[in-house]
Structure 1
Amino acid sequence: MTHARWHATDTLAARYADGTLPESEAWSLEKHLEHCTSCATRVSHAVRAGTAGAVLGEVREAVLREALLQEALLQELGSRSGVPGAGRFPRLARALWAAGPAVRGAWSLAVLVVALGAVALGYGAGVAGVRPLLLALAPVVPVLGVALSYGPHADPVHEIAAASPSGGLRLLLTRTVAVLLVSLPLLTLAGLLLPGSGAPGAAAWLLPGLALTLASLALAGYVGSRAGAAVTCGGWLCAVLAPALTSPSDGAPLARLAEQLSAVLDGPLAQGTWAASAVLCAAALAARRAVYDRLP
């Protein structure tokens, strides 16, 4: 039955509001409400008139009071600071909240520890060939950051944020950009500081990192953000680490890893392939953007 041939009755809306409607019928009604404004209004009135209406009203008032209080405090701090443009502090605060754990949690600290740890191994411990190991791990760091920055595990009000007009793919991309802004400079700088020269270069992982991040986002539309990240990271690590560790040729594992990375990162052909992969993944992401409103 199409959405245009039926509408929710007052009885149906009341049963949905009090929770007596069977689950299959509730799902059908919720799907219908996505396309029918009149039925959505009828169900909203039924919910507010029921026992849950008072509770929802109290929650709404509490959230609005807290939001207005935080807004007022930020505006007062901005006006007292005397700094030009301080009135934009509330917007900055909202942007930081939307960015997620990439900038307001422990994840950025973890990336910093990885970068400093690589430099410490290269100089403090005198480990030769640390750069290939960093380049092997760097492309999957943004992928893991995105997986850890989006979802109920990362945000206590994820369901509310995902259902808002700025939720879904827009929120996911906001978190992704924040992750990239944190991880790309730190890891690239660490690669430049590490001893050693030659291929692959310290910035050779940037396009692969972008392509793998977009690939994980595209897979998330099918299997969820964590599973998509696991598949992407596992595939990359198997592709670069397994041949280096199982190669029968002479030489240290890090030297063999450098050769393997040179094959997949160096040269116009390799970088062009990664760029084309990133474009294809971005196109797949845009084609299925509606799926991310209900990302598992």
Structure 2
Amino acid sequence: MTGWHAPETLIARYADGSLPDADAWSLEKHLESCASCAGRVSGAVRATAAGAVLADVRDAVLAAATPTPAEAPPLRTPRLLWAAAPAVRGAWLPAVLLVALGAVLLAHVAGFSGARPLLLAVAPVVPVAGVALSYGRHADPLHELAASTPSAGLRLVLTRTAVVLAVSLPLLTLAGLVLPSPGGPGAAAWLLPGLTLTLAALALGGWLGLRTATAVTGGGWLCAVLAPALAAPDGAVARHLSDQLSAYVGGAATQGGWAAAAALCAVLLAARRTAYDRLERF
């Protein structure tokens, strides 16, 4: 039904209950992917006698759910935790710890000189993977319920993305700071690339779905950074990896390019925000 919108006569008959069931089901299916028609149908229903009853019910529910000032903090906190919980449970959080601790152990126990470049190569895709693993039916048993609430869509995705970034950025940066530096980019050089890849995955997610978008962005980064280094002669992998990272994340000009790309991805994400209203909803 791309490009098609429900005529006013069809919406009016749906609102007053005179539309045949088959036509009503067809219209409801269209409303899943058309915010414009959904808004028009909502307005038409509110204008009927049933709309007044629904408004009364809504007001009663909101009055019962609205906390008093003394109750507000304890009610908001569980709501936020409920929204953010899938971002810090499951396999993702242990994976972050494994990446950070693994790099430290490689450097200080195994004596691997390329531990920091390896960490900087993998770190940008960790939040990208976290975003993919924190949203959708596979991550949240209550996803369909959450996706139908007013807080769903991009707002819910950004809430979970913020939690992913709040956990992974300081943890992986701290791990990089305690690793020996053989030269090359600093421990925090991956932050802007990581943020940009995350925003790029979110922006692409409006077209491809989050899991596919994160596979494209994260996989593309790993191939660009690791493939040339792994093709290096034996004994030179760490040096080649450090050289690759210096080219991709080192220097003020390169970091400025990542910052510009992050801003562009944020603008694109804002322009496509309505696509998340129906992302993985059904």
Do the aligned partners of 1:97 and 1:104 also contact (CA within 8 Å) in 2? Answer: no
Which stretch shows the higher mean deviation, 179-188 or 22-31? 22-31
Shift of 1:196: 2.5
Aligned to 1:33: 38
Aligned to 1:79: none
Aligned to 1:53: none
CA displacement 1:185-206 (0-9 Å, x = unmatched): 1100001111234211110000
Q: 1:2 to 1:295 in 2, by over 3 A?
A: closer
Do the aligned partners of 1:96 and 1:103 also contact (CA within 8 Å) in 2? Answer: no
Which stretch shows the higher mean deviation, 255-264 or 6-15? 6-15
Number of residues of Structure 1 aligned to a counterpart in Structure 2? 261
Shift of 1:219: 0.5
The runs of 4+ residues in structure 1 deviating greater than 6 Å are none
Matched position secondary structure for 2:112: coil
Which residue type is aligned with residue 252 of structure 2? Answer: P
Are 1:170 and 2:155 counterparts? yes
Q: What RMSD, in angstroms, separates the aligned Cα atoms of the two structures?
A: 3.1
Do the aligned partners of 1:245 and 1:253 also contact (CA within 8 Å) in 2? Answer: yes
Matched position secondary structure for 1:34: helix
Shift of 1:24: 3.9
Corresponding residue to 1:113 among 88, 91, 98: 98
Matched position secondary structure for 1:35: helix
Q: Which runs of 5+ in 1 are unaligned?
A: 49-63, 76-84
Do the aligned partners of 1:101 and 1:107 also contact (CA within 8 Å) in 2? Answer: no
Aligned to 1:80: none
Shift of 1:5: 2.8
Q: In the TM superposition, what are the counterparts of 1:121-132 in structure 2 within 5 Å?
A: 121-132=106-117
Do the aligned partners of 1:14 and 1:43 also contact (CA within 8 Å) in 2? Answer: no
Q: In the TM superposition, what are the counterparts of 1:250-269 in structure 2 within 5 Å?
A: 251-269=235-253
Are 1:278 and 2:256 counterparts? no
Q: 1:155 to 1:14 in 2, by over 3 A?
A: farther
Q: Which runs of 5+ in 2 are unaligned?
A: 54-60
Aligned to 2:80: 95
Do the aligned partners of 2:6 and 2:27 also contact (CA within 8 Å) in 1? Answer: no
Mapped partners of 1:45, 1:203: distance in 2:
58
Do the aligned partners of 1:131 and 1:194 also contact (CA within 8 Å) in 2? Answer: yes
CA displacement 1:11-31 (0-9 Å, x = unmatched): 55562xxxx558644424664
Aligned to 2:222: 237
TM-score by length of 2: 0.81
Matched position secondary structure for 2:40: coil
Aligned to 1:208: 193
Aligned to 2:276: 292
Do the aligned partners of 2:132 and 2:210 also contact (CA within 8 Å) in 1? Answer: yes
Shift of 1:130: 0.6
The percent identity for this pair of structures is 57
Kindly indicate which of the two structures has a greater share of residues assigned to helix. Answer: 1
Which residue type is aligned with residue 39 of structure 2? Answer: E
Are 1:157 and 2:158 counterparts? no
Do the aligned partners of 1:33 and 1:39 also contact (CA within 8 Å) in 2? Answer: no
Do the aligned partners of 2:113 and 2:182 also contact (CA within 8 Å) in 1? Answer: no
